[in-house]
Chain A
């Protein structure tokens, strides 16, 4: 009883959402209603006991495809007045296409006959002891592997087609090539030199303490210190004066 009620609730919401997809004025709202419709379809799958399909529907359609839809639709700059301008002119063509489709669908539906065994198959789709996912995998990968692979190949071709159509060689002014950066080593860019300390200071008029003390005839007792220390001494001395 609860399952039946849930079925009708989900179906009703799904149909309402689907209607809103085509009637909503704002395309972003349309996509959001589409997502709502997907969710309800997933719920219907759950009610039918196909939990794997339900989750895949949410992951693939809601989690990835609809995000990209939303992404694109949000960035479109549509002028809605212009959008509706040609409505009356194109209405007859649209009506004709719709009518043809309706007639075709009616013909298909009325001419459709189920195999006599079909209801039997439907009533026991899965052996009781294995899960829905395993049963589906068995069908796809064991019994229909060729069809599965062909479908995959078709998608691959479509993907390559999309890439070929949209790929443009762009000359980027500063393109980062990570490999080149990683292969750089210190010695390629930086050279460490041993520069003699105080070399050439006399020429530019700076006389260091060592030179001054030598002039005064004092013993050069800093001789043992490292050049860096001597330099810092010299600096502090000059600051002190």
Chain B
């Protein structure tokens, strides 16, 4: 068996199996993230949430998916057909692609590449294309306005995210995600870099177009924003893409700040849980905060959003980056890795 996996064909089979091993749980998690969001929102608003289909409404995501599949895909007459259908595919594909480098346990990643964090950053910055192409190809004013909002928003918050990532890299001394997690063996980066953790999480909300920064959708102003013309499966793909992106942002937060698969303390009761379980727990905790924020905060006004990104987060993260570098240099704590 081991010999088979050494041959070229075996390698191909191995890669396919590994991909499935991450994609199948991921898609299930995405399906149940929609359910969890509805349940969490319901609990916060003193409602019951989905409770009819299956026990506790557990089959609701599948009922929704079936409904979406059965509906007609409507393409507007003036739309650019190819790009119109390409946009949701791009959206979901990018959200799934990023998971190739996410380490769930020590060395458990489909691709353990040297520049893993840059890969994640690159993929998450590409997410804007799905939205902007959808907005343009729909040939609709509302969709286009949503796309423009989204493009400006995501480009703005990417800058702050970039500086936060650089700060983490300074402390970890590596671009490899596995090494970044291992560098948090003694203390999770969310403790010494607490302000950056907060900036990262809020920028993550903006990057995934989540409430309170969901202006690209802005249903009270521009109907549903960039996906106003989408229906059936194409709409479902956007929906899945959004949740997959949320999961990805949570995973990035977990890896960069919450110590990935590492237990909080390296002593008995905490070490009983295996690493992947810790990873999943932390990921879900971050995801819960995404839902919580949606239930708690009203939507930002667009100029406030831009102000927060450019005039608050950018200088703050840049300042903290310089401070971190200075402290690391002065104390000699800077990691000397390659």
Contacts and interface: CB of A to CB of B under 8 A. Distances in A.
20 contacts: A35-B129, A51-B115, A55-B121, A59-B121, A62-B125, A63-B125, A63-B126, A64-B125, A64-B158, A67-B132, A67-B151, A68-B155, A70-B151, A71-B151, A71-B152, A74-B136, A75-B148, A129-B338, A130-B338, A178-B307
A130 B175 CA distance: 13
A59 B118 contact: yes
B113 A67 contact: no
A176 interface: yes
Given A51-B113, A133-B175, A64 B118 contact: no
Interface string B287-313: 000000000000000011001000000
Interface of B: 83, 113-115, 118-119, 121-122, 125-126, 128-129, 132-133, 136, 144, 147-148, 151-152, 154-155, 158, 162, 175, 303-304, 307, 338
Where chain B touches its partner, the secondary structure class is helix
B338 A131 contact: yes
Interface of A: 28, 32, 35, 51-52, 55-56, 58-59, 62-64, 67-68, 70-71, 74-75, 129-134, 176, 178
Contacts of A32: 83, 133
Contact of B158 (A63, A74, A75, A176): A63
B115 A71 contact: no
A71 B158 contact: no
B72 to A, nearest CB: 27
Contacts of A129: 338
A59 B122 CA distance: 5
Nearest to B8: A2
Q: Closest 6 A-B residue pairs measured CB to CB? A: A63-B125, A55-B118, A58-B122, A134-B338, A130-B338, A59-B122
Nearest to B137: A28
